[in-house]
């Protein structure tokens, strides 16, 4: 099979691949955008520009590190471009001429009046750019000045400004949405009413990163004071996926979507596309690892598509949208229970603690003497590993037998009590050994039916109420 075609089309804006750099520090200058295109990025959204350059503060970013992994979440109190409009316009025109096949979209944010928007749209489109992205998403700094999320949190403002821009725009107009809102669909619908050609989401989430326990100052701080900032990076991906899905599934929206938020690997990008994004944008991962991560994005996407027989992006964009819906549509008669593969188990007890204290008290613990335990194992389990990538059950170290999880001459053995297991997944999520706990199908006493059907059948007297599971 020849290589799949990964060229993308978002509301008529084409790019050689679906990977765009999101508006932010990596797209603040021609120098960076040129290097990004040379590295393989398919498009960029230029760092948000305005009539006047803003003044930034020193000290701007904060991060959440988790369990040895740096920058799981990233926060910034940076504003829009700190460069002059003339400089930006000249460089955008240069880049578009140099890279005619790449997508160059320009992010805009100006005062909320019609003349200002008309003026900037005309000047920006004269550069030859491929589209405009209206930044109604920035939740900090600019929102205090009545811009960014101050517009994107109010459906009427979103519709009004979108409509102003659409009065004169010649290129497609994307609306970049803020996640700092109760129900993103209302803003998506307002953008659609205003005439938007596509949506882009998410911008950053309002956040305070923390307080330094030595200095008692906020993180990050500017001369001892902090300000709420925008949160992004891997930690926000599930929030972004939910919002992308909500808009992709909403028949009143029906617009192409550019998905953003926490993408750091090709797999993340594919998930966004399966849930309805026509292409994706990346900011934090490019800031953390550099432009060359796009090589991994491209090769990973291509081989995944090849493996599944997809020839072009449209073969799978939106594929999983119908699989997510309301809770009331889930099947009450579907049942899975946990099962431990004892040949993989390292007897650590994490599943037991989690089920006992945080779930449904459905894991039994029994004690086996070390000798009895050793007798049960085959030769393959001892010393030379079990071929599963994990430590063997028994290691010989310095001539002594060392058994994982053993203490006081005993080994704890954990088994699932499947009669009471409610199939919550918790034990399998906390188990440190891959594929050691599987969730396996089980026969249910409840017939296959959704909660809605259950209510109907109850009201018609066709079914007895489902009995609650037994508790300790």
What is the set of active-site residues?
Answer: 138
Output the CA torsion sign for 108, 114, 118, 119. Answer: negative
Q: What is the DSSP letter of 11?
A: T
Nearer to ligand SF4 among residue 21 and residue 431 (C-beta) = 431
Judged by CB under 6 A, the number of residues near ligand FMN is 28
Segment contacting ligand FMN by CB under 6 A, of 51-59, 248-256, 283-291, 461-469: 283-291
Q: Which of residues 57-116 bind ligand FMN (CB under 6 A)?
A: 74, 76, 78, 80, 107
**Closer of 135 and 362 to ligand FMN (Cβ):** 135
Pairing mode of beta strands 205-207, 229-232: antiparallel
CA distance 114 to 126: 19
Q: Is 424 in the site for ligand SF4 (CB under 6 A)?
A: yes
Q: How far is the CB of 381 from ligand FMN (least distance, A)?
A: 44
The answer to whether residue 117 forms part of the interface with ligand FMN (CB under 6 A) is: no
Residues 352-411 that bind ligand SF4 (CB under 6 A): 354-355, 359-360, 362-363
Residue 120 interacts with ligand FMN (CB under 6 A): yes or no? no
3-state helix, strand, coil in the chain (%, to 5): 35, 25, 40
CA dihedral sign of residues 413, 415, 420, 423: positive
**Partner in contact with 241, chosen from ligand SF4, ligand FMN, none, beta carbon below 5 to 8 Å by kind:** none
- Residues sharing a CB contact under 8 Å with residue 445, sequence separation 6 or more, in sequence order: none
Q: In the complex, what is the shortest distance from the CB of residue 230 to ligand FMN, in angstroms, rounded to a whole number? A: 6
Site for ligand FMN in 204-223 (CB under 6 A): 204
With CB under 6 A as the contact rule, the residue among 151, 202, 282, 437 that binds ligand SF4 is 437
Q: What character string, x for contact with ligand FMN (CB under 6 A) and - otherwise, covers 124-163?
A: -----------x-xx-------------------------
**DSSP symbols for 156-208:** HHHHHHHHHHHHH--S-EEEEPPS-SS-HHHHHHHHHHHT-SEEEE--PEEE-
Task: Kindly indicate which of the ranges 32-40, 259-267, 385-393, 458-466 contains the residues binding ligand FMN, using the contact rule CB under 6 A.
Answer: 259-267
The binder of ligand SF4 chosen from 164, 291, 297, 414 (CB under 6 A)? 414
Which residues neighbour 231 within 8 Å (Cβ) at sequence distance 6 or greater? 73, 74, 75, 204, 205, 206, 207, 209
| Cα–Cα distance, 216 to 212 (Å, whole number) | 5
Contact between 338 and ligand SF4 per CB under 6 A: yes
Q: Is 236 in the site for ligand FMN (CB under 6 A)?
A: yes
Give yes or no for a contact between 64 and 316, defined as CB atoms under 8 angstroms apart.
no
Near ligand FMN by CB under 6 A: residue from 13, 22, 120, 165: 22
Q: Which is nearer to ligand SF4, 51 or 335 (CB)?
A: 335
Q: Which is nearer to ligand SF4, 208 or 348 (CB)?
A: 348
Place of tokens 């009427």: 156
- Please state, in angstroms and rounded to a whole number, the distance separating the CA atoms of residues 150 and 134: 13
To ligand SF4, the closest distance from the beta carbon of 470 in angstroms equals 12
Using the 8-state DSSP alphabet, how is residue 5 labeled?
B
Task: Provide the greatest CA pair distance for the chain.
Answer: 84
DSSP string, 384-451: S--SSSS--SEEEETTEEEETTEETTEEEEEEE-TTT-----HHHHH-SSTTSEEEEE---SSPS-BH
Residue 23 in the binding site for ligand FMN (CB under 6 A) = yes
* Partner from ligand FMN, ligand SF4, none contacting 340, C-beta within 5 to 8 A by type: ligand SF4
Stretch that binds ligand FMN, among 243-251, 281-289, 331-339, 446-454 (CB under 6 A): 281-289
Closest CA to 444 of 428, 415, 467: 467
Single out the segment in contact with ligand FMN by CB under 6 A; choices: 8-16, 18-26, 364-372, 379-387. Answer: 18-26
User: How many helices (H) does the chain have, and how many strands (E)?
Assistant: 14, 23
The dihedral region occupied by 24, where left means phi > 0, alpha psi between -120 and 50, and beta the remainder, is left
Rule CB under 6 A: say whether 140 interacts with ligand SF4.
no
Judged by beta carbon, residue 24 or residue 226, the one nearer ligand FMN is 24
Question: Using an 8 Å Cβ cutoff, are 394 and 402 in contact?
Answer: yes
Q: Which of 5, 7, 9, 25 binds ligand FMN (CB under 6 A)?
A: 25
Q: What is the DSSP string of 228-281?
A: -EEEESGGGHHHHHHHHHHHHH-TTT---EEEESS--SHHHHHHHHHTTEEEEE
Applying CB under 6 A, which of residues 422, 442, 446, 466 lies at the interface with ligand SF4?
Answer: 422
Binding residues vs ligand FMN (CB under 6 A) = 22-25, 47-48, 74, 76, 78, 80, 107, 135, 137-138, 176, 203-204, 232-233, 236, 260-263, 282-285
Binding residues vs ligand SF4 (CB under 6 A) = 338, 340, 345-351, 354-355, 359-360, 362-363, 414, 416, 421-427, 431, 433, 436-437
């Amino acid at each position: 099979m020849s290589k799949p075609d990964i060229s993308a089309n978002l509301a008529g804006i084409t790019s050689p691949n679906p990977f765009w750099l999101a508006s932010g520090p990596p797209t603040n200058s021609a120098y960076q955008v040129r290097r990004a295109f040379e590295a393989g990025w398919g498009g960029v959204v230029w760092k948000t520009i305005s009539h006047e350059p803003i003044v930034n503060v020193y000290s701007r970013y904060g991060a959440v590190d988790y369990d040895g992994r740096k920058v799981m979440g990233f926060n910034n109190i940076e504003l829009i471009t700190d460069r002059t409009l003339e400089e930006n316009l000249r460089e955008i025109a240069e880049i578009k001429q140099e890279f005619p096949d790449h997508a160059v979209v320009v992010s805009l944010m100006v005062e909320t009046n019609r003349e200002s928007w008309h003026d900037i749209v005309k000047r920006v489109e004269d550069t030859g750019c491929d589209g405009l992205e209206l930044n109604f998403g920035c939740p900090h700094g600019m929102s205090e000045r009545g811009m960014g999320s101050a517009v994107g949190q109010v459906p009427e403002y979103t519709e009004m400004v979108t409509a102003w821009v659409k009065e004169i725009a010649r290129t497609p107009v994307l609306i970049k949405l803020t996640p700092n809102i109760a129900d993103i669909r209302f803003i998506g619908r307002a953008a659609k009413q205003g005439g938007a050609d596509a949506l882009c989401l998410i911008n950053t989430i309002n956040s305070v990163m923390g307080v330094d326990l030595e200095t008692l100052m906020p993180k990050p701080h500017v001369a001892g004071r902090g300000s709420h900032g925008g949160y992004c990076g891997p930690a926000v991906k599930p929030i972004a996926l939910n919002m992308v899905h909500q808009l992709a599934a909403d028949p009143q929206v029906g617009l192409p979507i550019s998905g953003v938020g926490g993408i750091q690997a090709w797999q993340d990008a594919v998930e966004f596309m399966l849930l309805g994004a026509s292409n994706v944008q990346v900011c934090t991962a490019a800031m953390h690892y550099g432009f060359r991560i796009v090589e991994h994005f491209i090769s990973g996407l291509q081989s995944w598509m090849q493996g599944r027989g997809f020839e072009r992006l449209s073969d799978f964009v939106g594929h999983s949208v119908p699989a997510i819906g309301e809770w009331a549509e889930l099947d009450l008669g579907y049942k899975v229970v946990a099962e431990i593969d004892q040949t993989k188990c390292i007897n650590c007890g994490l599943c037991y603690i989690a089920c006992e204290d945080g779930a449904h008290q459905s894991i039994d613990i029994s004690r086996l003497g070390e000798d009895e335990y050793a007798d049960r194992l085959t030769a393959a389990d001892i010393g030379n590993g079990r071929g599963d990538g994990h430590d063997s059950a028994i290691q010989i170290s310095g001539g002594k037998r060392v058994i994982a999880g053993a203490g006081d001459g005993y080994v704890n053995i954990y088994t699932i009590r499947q009669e009471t297991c409610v199939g919550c997944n918790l034990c399998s999520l906390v188990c440190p050994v891959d594929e050691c706990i599987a969730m396996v199908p089980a026969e249910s006493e409840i017939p296959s039916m959704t909660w809605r059907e259950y209510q109907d059948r109850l009201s018609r007297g066709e079914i007895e109420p489902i009995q609650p599971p037994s508790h300790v």
